[in-house]
Structure 1
Amino acid sequence: MSLISFQGAPAQAAGAGESAKTANCQLPPGTLTPVDLPPGASVIDCGAVGRVVEDGGAGLTIPEPGNGVTISTLMANGDSVEFALQVDDAGVISYNSPSGVDPATGVDTPQPAPPADPVDPPGTPDTPDDEQDVPPAGSTPIPDTDAAAAPGACSTSAYNLMRWKEYGTYTWYIGDGGMPAGLSRTAAKDAFADAINNITGGSNNCGIVNLAGPRSSYGGTTSLEADISNHNTCTARDKKSTWDAGDLIAGAVASACTWTKLQGPSYADVIEADVRFNTADHNFTNNPSTGCNNKYDVRSVGTHEAGHVFGLDHVTGSTNQNQTMYTNSFPCTTKARTLARGDMNGLRAIYMS
């Protein structure tokens, strides 16, 4: 098990800290990096609340003190794109950065980032999935659980955790953007609800009883959209957990942005979590069949993203490919709809501890 660890700076005496804060406040215009605003800097003194920090193919809008924000992106090639920051009650920022900024030197060694989509003109609507969700003639549905995946799914126990949990009930909404697989908002609501319930209900074929799972509630439709930009950036949150589809960076299948309130030494409290499917670069289906051609299953991807919402992180390695939280999502398969032993172990570690 591993929780996200944040890179920070040791606390300083008031007098000694003033010069450090001043040195950390020479912020350039536009988008920042963790080198521009290093760990240990004060977002209050630097006037950095609301500014965007980017690293490793992802971006975050700096929240108010006492809050954190994380973006987790499921990539088609299996790369893990994840970036997190938190601002403590005193306004001091810390990161979990894919580039590994050294808090002592500020040296940044970025990982290769996926290519960004070009900037859309202001007012450009989100791109819906062009293909309607109609299985090819003569095809047969793929079962909810791929038979070949079951043995591997129940024999591996690895899991990784984020640094949060849902202490209450996760209330989510259908957004005003596009929907994957050309689904209506009503059909998308049903698919997303199934995906979220796979996590809250602990859906598995390994005989594991989910004794104390998290809770969720559908809040209805909203005129708002997921607070995730086409640059794979968590924008300022609108206080509604919204699921929709639209444009993300090239190569991204879906992204989840999760905002948290600092709670305790192990887990923060989820205060909003938005999910967006990338229908600009990928096709989705709600009915995988034998004739499926490079389409991602809405419920499988949704279950993976819901795992992030409730505190599960990616797992890697060939032995974990049958887990819902594996870092890659495979087209034309439903296996991620059903949780593996490792996924269940992670949920039980969070919600039964």
Structure 2
Amino acid sequence: MKKILGFVTILFIVWLLLPISQVNAKPENRHDQLTLPAHDEDAEVVYLGKSKDSDTDQVVEGYAFIYRSRDSKPAKSARIPNCYGYLASGAKWKTVENWLVNTDNTRGLDSSFVLDNLSNNMTKWEDASDGIIGNSLGVNILGSGSETADTLVADTTAPDGTNEVYFGDIAESGVIAVNTIWGIFSGPTKFREIVEWDLVFDQVDFDWSATGESTKMDFENIATHELGHSTGMNDLYNSSCNLETMFGYASDGETIKRDLHTGDINGINLLY
């Protein structure tokens, strides 16, 4: 009888502890694998088609910007004069919209670090929008971020009115991150604008670091580049521009893109 009572007591204690362990357990990353429409193997930009902006009912177009590791493809060597480019001439944010981030990841990055670092990296671009680094007189471009535990989805068929950032599984190998951006990119320049962005960092093929570890992708390095897209800046593939944050390839341990270079600063200043 004592043995039975002891066994029942143990079961009762285990039952009491279950809710505690469930509350404290780290949530699983529930985001679906990101698969882009069919495209050439080395494509750097993928067209997502046309849809309507859920906020304004305007017809918009979507593009996915693919960020590959440096070994995926050699940089083009032709020289360009300015070392900056745009998603489309004049296409920029005209209304400030906030963003959400699900910081959950399987690579050990601290949640508060991810949120704070994203915010700081956005500030770099905003600070540079007046052409001067460090005077804090730039334009508020990307708004403020907040953390969510919700499952987020990068919009590849239509914008949903929310700017989202998360770690996930990008189906195509060798791709560090994908930024899907919706907006008006054609027609009269004065009517062009960006209306939404969603950013996915791959955590299946790539490991991530907060400190520039040589065998991992540096989060700040990659995030600063990707947020350049979110403001309206385009990739650069000329080797003469390899010091720019918007240079189109990255590698493990690289940190040079953490800080905006001359072309980045001039480009964002002229755009805003």
TM-score (norm 2): 0.69
1:319 CA drift (Å): 1.5
Hey, what's the Cα distance between the residues in 1 that align with 2:37 and 2:122?
Answer: 29
C-alpha contact 1:174 1:185 (8 A) present in aligned 2: no
CA offsets, 1:290-311, max 9 Å, x none? xx23211111100100000111
Equivalence for 2:98: 171
| Percent of paired sites with the same residue | 20
1:236 CA drift (Å): 3.5
1:54 CA drift (Å): 3.1
Aligned residues: 216
3-state SS of the aligned residue for 2:98? strand
Q: Which ranges of structure 1 fall in alignment gaps of 5 or more residues? A: 1-51, 81-155, 229-233
C-alpha contact 1:172 1:240 (8 A) present in aligned 2: yes
CA offsets, 1:47-84, max 9 Å, x none? xxxxx85322546254236111111011013668xxxx
Q: Does 1:282 align with 2:206?
A: yes
1:212 CA drift (Å): 4.4
Match 1:60 to one of 48, 69, 81: 48
1:264 CA drift (Å): 5.8
Equivalence for 1:253: 176
C-alpha contact 2:72 2:174 (8 A) present in aligned 1: no
Q: Which ranges of structure 2 fall in alignment gaps of 5 or more residues? A: 1-35, 53-57, 74-80
Equivalence for 2:18: none
1:276 CA drift (Å): 0.6
Match 2:232 to one of 301, 311, 314: 311
Alignment of 1:192-231 (within 5 A): 192-202=118-128, 212-222=138-148, 223-227=150-154
Hey, what's the Cα distance between the residues in 1 that align with 2:152 and 2:108?
Answer: 17
1:168 CA drift (Å): 2.3
Hey, what's the Cα distance between the residues in 1 that align with 2:137 and 2:145?
Answer: 25
CA offsets, 1:275-294, max 9 Å, x none? 11111101111112xxx232
- Larger Cα Rg: Structure 1 or Structure 2? 2
1:322 CA drift (Å): 0.7
Hey, what's the Cα distance between the residues in 2 that align with 1:336 and 1:221?
Answer: 25
Query: Which has the larger helix fraction?
Result: 2
Hey, what's the Cα distance between the residues in 2 that align with 1:54 and 1:253?
Answer: 18
Match 2:162 to one of 240, 254, 268: 240
Q: Does 1:334 align with 2:259?
A: no
1:247 CA drift (Å): 0.8
Higher relative contact order (CA 8 A, sep 6+): 2
C-alpha contact 1:227 1:236 (8 A) present in aligned 2: no
Equivalence for 1:271: 195
Moved over 6 A (4+): 205-210
CA offsets, 1:291-347, max 9 Å, x none? x23211111100100000111101122221110000111321321111111111111
